[in-house]
Amino acid sequence: AQSVTQLGSHVSVSEGALVLLRCNYSSSVPPYLFWYVQYPNQGLQLLLKYTSAATLVKGINGFEAEFKKSETSFHLTKPSAHMSDAAEYFCAVSILNRDDKIIFGKGTRLHILP
Amino acid sequence: EAGVTQFPSHSVIEKGQTVTLRCDPISGHDNLYWYRRVMGKEIKFLLHFVKESKQDESGMPNNRFLAERTGGTYSTLKVQPAELEDSGVYFCASSQGDRVAYNEQFFGPGTRLTVL
C-alpha cells in the first residue's frame, strides 16, 4: 500500500531563507503526489501536484517540488521564506485507477522566524 | 463563489452523546468526501459520496458513524454514541469529478470534535 513520510513535524526557518520540507513516498507503481497547505482556521489548499508530466512542479505562492523516483522523494521548496508562509504543510499520494484515495502524511508545521 | 463550509466549527460533547456534523459542498460538486485527523496523526479518508450515493465508505471506523447526503447536496456525519477516540478534526471536501489527479478537492475548515 502507498504511504508518505514527512520528515520533521516542525520546521523553523528565518524570513528570507530557503524553505525545504521533506517528503518520501512508498508506492509499488508510479504515484500521483500532492502538497497541501493549511493556514490557521482554514481548510486545506492544494499547493501543487505531480501527475507524471514534468518532474519539477511549480505551485502557488512561489513553492515548487521535484519528483525524484530514484530517491522516492517529493520535497517542497521555496527560495525565500515569507512570514505569510507560516502554516501546516501536508504531503499526499494517490494511485490513479486504484482506490484513487488521497493518502496524507502527518504534516509539517512551518514556523517563520523574523 | 462560496467554498466548502462546515458546521459547527467546534463541538465539545461527553462520551456517549450524539453529535452531527454538517458539510455544505461547493455548488455543483457531485463528489463529497469526509476525512478525519486525530491529533498528531495523518488526515485519513472516511468516505466518498457521488451525489447521494456512497461510492466508498471503506474508511469509516465502525458502525457508530453514519454519513448521509440526502438529495445530493449537503452531507451530515453523525457519531452515536461518541467515544473518547472519536476526538479530532473532521474535514469535508468536494470536487467536480472523482479522479483525484485531475479534479482538485476543495476542503472546508473542519469541525474540531472533542469528546470528554
Amino acid at A74: F
Secondary structure letter of residue A83 according to DSSP: G
Which residues, numbered 32 to 51 in chain B, qualify as contacts with chain A under a Cβ-Cβ cut-off of 8 Å? 35, 40-45, 48
CB contact under 8 A, B45 and A102: yes
How far apart are alpha carbons B47 and B63 in whole angstroms?
A: 13
User: According to the model, what pLDDT value does residue B111 have?
Assistant: 97
Read off the DSSP letter of residue A40: T
- Give the DSSP per-residue string, chain B: ----EEE-SEEEE-TT--EEEEEE--TT--EEEEEEE-TTS-EEEEEEEETTEEEE-TT--STTEEEE-GGGS-EEEEESS--GGG-EEEEEEEESSS-TTTSPPEE---EEEEE-
pLDDT digits 0-9 by tens, B34-78:
999 998 889 999 999 999 999 999 999 999 999 999 888 999 999
Span between the terminal Cα atoms of chain B, in Å: 37
Cell readout for A31 is 504515484
| Interface contact flag, A104 B98, Cβ < 8 Å | no
Yes or no, beta carbons of A106 and B100 under 8 Å apart:
no
**Nearest-by-Cβ selection for A43 from B56, B59, B91:** B91
pLDDT above 70 (res B1) = no
User: Is the model more confident about B40 or about A66?
Assistant: A66
Average pLDDT along chain B: 94
- Amino acid B38 reads V
Average pLDDT over residues A10-37: 93
Measure the CA–CA gap between A3 and B26, rounded to whole angstroms: 29
Contacts of A44 in chain B (CB under 8 A): 43, 91, 93, 107
Closest residue in B to A98 (Cα) is B99
Best of B7, B26, B42 to disrupt the A interface (most A CBs within 10 Å) is: B42
Confidence band for A27, pLDDT divided at 50, 70 and 90 = confident
**Is it the case that residue B100 has pLDDT exceeding 90?**
no
Determine the pLDDT at residue B18.
97
Task: Please indicate if any CB of chain A lies within 8 Å of the CB of B7.
Answer: no
How far is Cα B89 from Cα A47, in angstroms, rounded to an integer? 21
Q: Are A105 and A14 in contact, with CB atoms under 8 Å apart?
A: no
Contact A27, A93 (CB under 8 A): yes
